[in-house]
Amino acid sequence: MFVRRHGAVVLNVDYRLSPEHPFPVPVNDSWDVLKWASEHYAEVNADPSKGFVIGGTSAGGNISAVLGFKARDEKLSPPLTGLLLTIPAIGLNYKAIPAEYKDDILSYAQNAEAPILPLPVIDRFMDAFKPDYTSRLHNLFADPVDWSGVPPTVFQICGLDPLRDEAFLAEKKMREAGVKTLVDVYPGLPHAFWSFLPKWGPSQEFVKHTADTMGWLLEQGGK
């Protein structure tokens, strides 16, 4: 879709999966690919000066967010120009939410039995992935917290999703730190609804919005 709509060059990262390869293997695999792309873009006929965007869905949204901050910290060159974070897990442990965020993170309780991604499914994923919640390679809320200096970022958020509020909170923190953000919200709809009902009207709207938001990110990168 991004190739057809925007003439983009797209690399799809086949990182290794848990439980055979738990945290931080998928993150490190993805970082290796990102570094390769930053050094070898000419080999795939890409021009990062027109936009250099990473993105992912759910767990991929977590990895993309983590790598966006890692690229900032390690001064990736050429720099990223955008992040597309679709229904991202930002990395909080819902069983031990820090007191400072408890008033902001209500969706785990409100959407505990939501379709597609209820809390028992999250538990099963995390039991397999075995993340370190104190590491910035998983949890963007882990110390030290610095939300500034990352490229323009799109958040796509579903209302009936346990992950909803940590995405809203991350967007707020980034925006307040001076990051340009765009929020695309799907009220009342569950996590990854478009994957399960691809011909449904809202799913088709989601696909169109996703292409639109990628266009917005590429416009930011080309400035």
For residue 52, what are the domain limits?
2-153+164-221
Residue 80 is classified by DSSP as P
Q: Does the annotation mark 161 as catalytic?
A: yes
The yes-or-no verdict on residue 222 having pLDDT over 70 is no
The yes-or-no verdict on residue 180 having pLDDT over 90 is yes
For 110-144, write each residue's pLDDT tens digit.
Answer: 999 999 999 999 999 999 999 999 999 999 999 98
- 11 lies in some domain: yes
Q: Does the annotation mark 58 as catalytic?
A: yes
Rounded to whole angstroms, how far apart are CA atoms 146 and 142? 10
- 55 lies in some domain: yes
CATH of the domain at 28: 3.40.50.1820
Determine if the pTM surpasses 0.85: yes
Total count of domains within the chain: 1
Q: What is the pLDDT of residue 136?
A: 96
- 158 lies in some domain: no
List 6, 107, 138, 161, catalytic entry: 161
Structure tokens at 52: 């250099």
Mean pLDDT within 8-14: 95
Single-letter residue type at 43:
E
- What percentage of the chain reaches a pLDDT higher than 70? 99
Q: What is the pLDDT of residue 85?
A: 98
Helices (H), 76-176: 107-110, 119-129, 164-176
Mean pLDDT within 69-93: 97
Q: Does the annotation mark 64 as catalytic?
A: no
The yes-or-no verdict on residue 223 having pLDDT over 70 is no
Q: Write the CA distances from 215 to 84, 85, 105, 158, 219, integer angstroms.
A: 11, 14, 30, 21, 6
- 187 lies in some domain: yes
pLDDT tier, 56 (very low <50, low <70, confident <90, very high otherwise): very high
For 136-179, write each residue's pLDDT tens digit.
Answer: 999 999 998 899 999 999 999 999 999 999 999 999 999 999 99
Mean pLDDT within 26-37: 98
- 159 lies in some domain: no
Mean pLDDT (the chain, rounded): 96
pLDDT tier, 221 (very low <50, low <70, confident <90, very high otherwise): confident
Closest by CA position to 92, among listed 65, 69, 113, 54: 65
Mean pLDDT within 197-214: 96
List 64, 107, 165, 191, catalytic entry: 191
- What percentage of the chain reaches a pLDDT higher than 90? 97
- 213 lies in some domain: yes
Q: What is the pLDDT of residue 119?
A: 98
pLDDT tier, 215 (very low <50, low <70, confident <90, very high otherwise): very high
- 142 lies in some domain: yes
List 58, 64, 107, 165, catalytic entry: 58
